[in-house]
């Protein structure tokens, strides 16, 4: 939301936008590309006419993931500042759907097509800012070393000067209890070594950029939902809540795990009562509307205290790819969002009304 963008501005965080809407949201929050030209970057593999016009008007740097995108930008805005998003030929992620490298990924300019990209840049006098490589979300250290090496090779082989390199995203958080947090010193050390090698080759300092969105916000958010029904389905114990995958898509889309805890509406001590292996599911009209599932849709359980209708469940670590992926599926309004700042609660997005949901429809 714009409120969170305002917090980001105060902390010196820049914006990697992937749509015209994200650009406009950043502008509305106070980002000013006229004053700070690199505070907003547009990253994509395609660019539509409206977005092209806006980035050209505001001179927003473009991180291009296709040669066609460079051509379209060059025709409208010769001399524009660009990054090249390069697909190094391999990828990795916590899910195949978050793997953004390799030949099964749509993302980036294929590494051997870099000469074609540079030819288009020369034709339209596009200014190369840097090389960007993002191979997936939830990358392990082994693949991280690979991509650092690929970055160095790509810069050395392309024969072009660059101001910066970008590590992209991928910094994860420990969603499960007992998981090791990312060693940020080690992560930085690998990328900094790559940066220093490139700087020695070019003969000048090179900036290193990173997109740690999940790392910054995932643990700051929770989804609070109310229990509406408890029932036994053969051997399975189901707790049905009033939030669905329209509110939190990650479990249904990726099989992602979110820790779940319970709160009693009447304040009783749930931890002292019985615990039950529970399937937690939502209100939508699909069997896949389940918060406890593996990738591929296999339903699993989590251990929860025995709850009753009216109690609450809390899904943890939903600050990243939670509200931002929500939808109006089943004609359900978007949820409100509440920000807690130094213990003070503040509504930063009100609940969408059904009237607003219907407002765009025409008879």
Question: What would the pLDDT profile of 238-271 be if each residue is shown by its tens digit?
Answer: 999 999 999 999 999 999 999 999 999 999 999 8
State the average pLDDT over residues 103-122: 92
DSSP E strands, 217-332: 223-233, 236-241, 260-263, 275-281, 302-305, 312-315
Same domain, 74 and 169: yes
The upper half-sphere exposure of residue 237, i.e. CA atoms within 13 Å in the direction of its Cβ, equals: 12
State the average pLDDT over residues 273-301: 96
Query: 125: domain CATH number?
Result: 3.20.20.10
- Domain boundary among the residues 218, 250, 266 is at 218
Same domain, 69 and 33: yes
Structure tokens at 178: 């007992």
285 catalytically annotated: yes
The rounded Cα 91 to chain-centroid distance in angstroms is: 16
3-class SS at 74? helix
Q: 236: which strand partners?
A: 233
Confidence band, pLDDT 50/70/90 cuts, at residue 42 = very high
Domain residues for 60? 2-218
Name which residue leads in pLDDT, 6 or 277: 277
Percent of the chain scoring above 70 in pLDDT: 96
Confidence band, pLDDT 50/70/90 cuts, at residue 72 = very high
3-class SS at 84? strand
Sign of CA dihedral 351, 258, 325, 299: negative
pTM (two decimals): 0.92
Same domain, 50 and 157: yes
State the average pLDDT over residues 192-201: 97
Q: Which of 220, 221, 239 is nearest to 229 (CA)?
A: 239
- Domain boundary among the residues 218, 246, 277 is at 218
Same domain, 65 and 127: yes
Same domain, 133 and 164: yes
Q: Which of 312, 147, 142, 300 is nearest to 223 (CA)?
A: 312
Same domain, 91 and 6: yes
Name which residue leads in pLDDT, 106 or 328: 328
**pLDDT tens-digit readout, 157-170:** 999 999 999 998 87
State the average pLDDT over residues 89-109: 69
Residue 96 has pLDDT above 80, yes or no: no
Same domain, 60 and 75: yes
Same domain, 182 and 274: no
State the average pLDDT over residues 57-70: 98
Confidence band, pLDDT 50/70/90 cuts, at residue 9 = confident
Confidence band, pLDDT 50/70/90 cuts, at residue 137 = low
- Predicted confidence at residue 135, as pLDDT, reads 73
Residue 99 has pLDDT above 60, yes or no: no
- Domain boundary among the residues 218, 252, 271 is at 218
Same domain, 66 and 204: yes
Write the CA distances from 103 to 107, 133, 153, integer angstroms.
9, 14, 19
Same domain, 185 and 273: no
Name which residue leads in pLDDT, 324 or 142: 324
| Torsion, Cα of 133, 137, 15, 9 (10° steps) | -130
CB under 8 Å to 361, separation ≥6 — which residues? none
Same domain, 178 and 231: no
Task: Round to whole Å and give the CA distance between 92 and 134.
Answer: 9
Return phi, psi of residue 28, to 5°. Answer: -65, -30
Question: Taking all residues of the chain, what is their mean pLDDT, rounded to a whole number?
Answer: 93
Confidence band, pLDDT 50/70/90 cuts, at residue 23 = very high
Element (H, E) at 337: strand 337-341
Percent of the chain scoring above 90 in pLDDT: 82
Residue 146 has pLDDT above 90, yes or no: no
- Predicted confidence at residue 78, as pLDDT, reads 98
| Contact assessment for residue 39 and residue 16, using Cβ atoms and an 8 Å cutoff | no
The upper half-sphere exposure of residue 236, i.e. CA atoms within 13 Å in the direction of its Cβ, equals: 12
Residue 306 has pLDDT above 90, yes or no: yes
Same domain, 213 and 262: no
Q: How many domains does the chain have?
A: 2
Among 36, 148, 158, 285, the active-site one is 285
């Amino acid at each position: 939301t714009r409120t969170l963008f305002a917090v980001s501005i105060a902390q010196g965080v820049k914006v990697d936008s992937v749509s015209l809407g994200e650009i406009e949201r950043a502008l509305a929050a106070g980002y000013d590309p006229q004053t700070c030209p690199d505070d907003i970057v547009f990253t994509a593999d395609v660019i539509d006419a409206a977005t092209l016009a806006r980035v050209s008007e505001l001179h927003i740097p473009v991180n291009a993931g296709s040669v066609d995108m460079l051509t379209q930008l060059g025709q409208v805005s010769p001399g524009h500042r660009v990054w090249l998003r390069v697909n190094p030929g391999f990828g990795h992620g916590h899910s195949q759907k978050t793997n953004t490298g390799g030949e099964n990924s749509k993302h980036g300019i294929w590494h051997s097509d870099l000469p074609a990209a540079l030819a288009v840049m020369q034709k339209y006098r596009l200014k190369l800012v840097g090389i960007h490589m993002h191979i997936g979300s939830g990358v392990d250290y082994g693949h991280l070393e690979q991509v650092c090496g690929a970055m160095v090779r790509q810069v050395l082989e392309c024969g072009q000067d660059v101001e910066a390199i970008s590590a992209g995203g991928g910094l994860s958080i420990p969603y499960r209890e007992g998981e090791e947090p990312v060693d940020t010193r080690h992560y930085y050390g690998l990328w900094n070594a790559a940066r220093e090698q490139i700087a020695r080759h070019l003969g000048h300092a090179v900036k290193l950029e990173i997109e740690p969105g999940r790392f910054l916000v995932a643990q700051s958010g929770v989804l609070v939902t109310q229990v509406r029904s408890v029932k036994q389905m053969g051997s399975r114990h189901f707790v049905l809540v009033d939030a669905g995958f329209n509110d939190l898509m990650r479990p249904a889309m990726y099989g992602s795990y979110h820790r779940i805890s319970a709160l009693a509406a009447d304040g009783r001590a749930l931890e002292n009562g019985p615990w039950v292996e529970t399937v937690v599911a939502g209100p939508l009209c699909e069997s896949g509307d389940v918060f406890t599932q593996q990738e591929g849709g296999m339903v699993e359980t989590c251990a929860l205290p025995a709850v009753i209708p009216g109690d609450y469940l809390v899904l943890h670590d939903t600050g990243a790819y939670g509200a931002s992926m929500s939808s109006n599926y089943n004609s359900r309004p978007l949820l409100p969002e509440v920000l807690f700042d130094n213990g003070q609660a503040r509504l930063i997005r009100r609940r969408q009304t059904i009237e607003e949901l219907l407002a765009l429809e025409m008879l």
